[in-house]
Amino acid sequence: MSGVQRDRSEAGTTDAPEAPDAAAPVLLDVGCLKVHLRLGHAVIRAVDGVDFQVRQGECVGIVGESGSGKSTLARGITRLMPNVKIAELSGNLRFEGRDILNMGDRELRTLRRGRGFSMIFQDPLGYLNPTQRVGRQIGEALSQDATTGSYESRVWALLDEVGLPDPKNIARRYPHELSGGMRQRVMIAIALASDPKLLFADEPTTALDATVQLQVLQTLHRLHRERNMAMAIITHDLGVVAELCDRVYVMHTGKVVESATTVELFENPQHPYSARLIDLSTRRISQEHRS
């Protein structure tokens, strides 16, 4: 992590989108994952036999409409499932070769806190503590073992890294004093505090204005590049996928119906559901002039 004075410009290297590196080692390997939830007497097969992989340093998209199981998939993988009754949780779930499906809570926590995976959510206000200054909330998430720099300077460096101006000032604010885009950046800073190898982002920009959305996506992409951090982005917006992701999984009723590189998916969708999603999204902006 560089210092507070680091150049924060979003424009870095101007490389064209490249094909995902097929030789990179697999970071996350999900095989036939089932997450069935119990709702009263009914069982909902929210995730029903999903195969899913993320390689080191790549950006993967998971798209689908509401109810397709994409968020449950991410929560199943990150094992963040409070307040739900699980009817069945089975399959193969490995992070760097370690079985995380049967991992104990203590071990999981270690994995989340140090060089494992982090997650950010659609609604930052719902996940930030309204009674604590944001600096403290970021500090709480810092990995314990790292020794570089003081606690405060590491918080400031993180705030700076996610593109917030005047980190020392922001660190002393409460969540309600920040705008939606700034809050989402604070969430990203918290997620980055454990220096993760994989970042899950569940609808990271859905609640944001279009201009702010573009800035936050740019920041995510810059972090992805600079830290060589793998990302899995869950979204209903094919635009986010087209802008950011190397590969994409299309989910429908709890199953992956198509998996392809982003270019392949957009140019030659194989599954009728993917084709329909792309058609609906592109038709609306068919006659426009893009700049």
Partner 1 sequence: MTAPVTAPILRLLGAEQVYTSRNANGPGWTTVRAVDSVDLDVNEGETLAIVGESGSGKSTLAKLMLMLNKPTAGKVQFRGTELGSLGRDRRQQFRREIQAVFQDPASSLNPRMTIERILGYIVRRHALCPAGETRAFLAAQLASVGLAPPEQYLERYPHQLSGGQQQRVAIARAMMLRPKIIIADEPLSSLDVSVQAQVLELMKTLHEATNVGFVVISHDLGAMQAIADRTAVMYRGRVVEIGPSIYTEPFHPYTKLLLDARLSLDPRRSRIRRLDTTLPRATPPEALKGGCRFRHRCADSVDICATREPTLRPVGPRGAQAACHRAEEVNAKASHAAGANAAGRAAI
List residues near partner 1 by CB under 8 A: 9-17, 65-66, 165, 179-181, 209-215, 217-218, 221-222, 236-245, 262-263, 266, 276-278, 280-285, 287-291
> Closest separation between CB of residue 153 and partner 1, Å?
24
> Closest separation between CB of residue 3 and partner 1, Å?
21
> Closest separation between CB of residue 255 and partner 1, Å?
17
Cβ-based nearer residue to partner 1, 51 or 237: 237
Angle at 165 between CA 160 and CA 167, to 5 degrees: 55
Cβ 53 vs Cβ 24: under 8 Å:
no
Beta bridge partners of 31: 92
Beta bridge partners of 99: 94
Q: Which of 65, 42, 25 is nearest to 257 (CA)?
A: 65
> Closest separation between CB of residue 66 and partner 1, Å?
6
Tokens of 163: 């593109």
Cβ-based nearer residue to partner 1, 102 or 211: 211
Cβ-based nearer residue to partner 1, 74 or 242: 242
Rounded to an integer, what is the distance from CA 87 to the centroid of its chain? 26
Residue in the block written with tokens 């290297």: 13
Q: Which of 254, 239, 250, 255 is nearest to 272 (CA)?
A: 250
Name the E strands within 76-184.
Answer: 85-95, 98-99, 117-120
Cβ-based nearer residue to partner 1, 119 or 242: 242
Angle at 210 between CA 207 and CA 215, to 5 degrees: 95
> Closest separation between CB of residue 38 and partner 1, Å?
19
Beta bridge partners of 249: 62, 259
Cβ-based nearer residue to partner 1, 77 or 230: 230
Tokens of 198: 């994989």
Cβ-based nearer residue to partner 1, 154 or 247: 247
> Closest separation between CB of residue 224 and partner 1, Å?
10
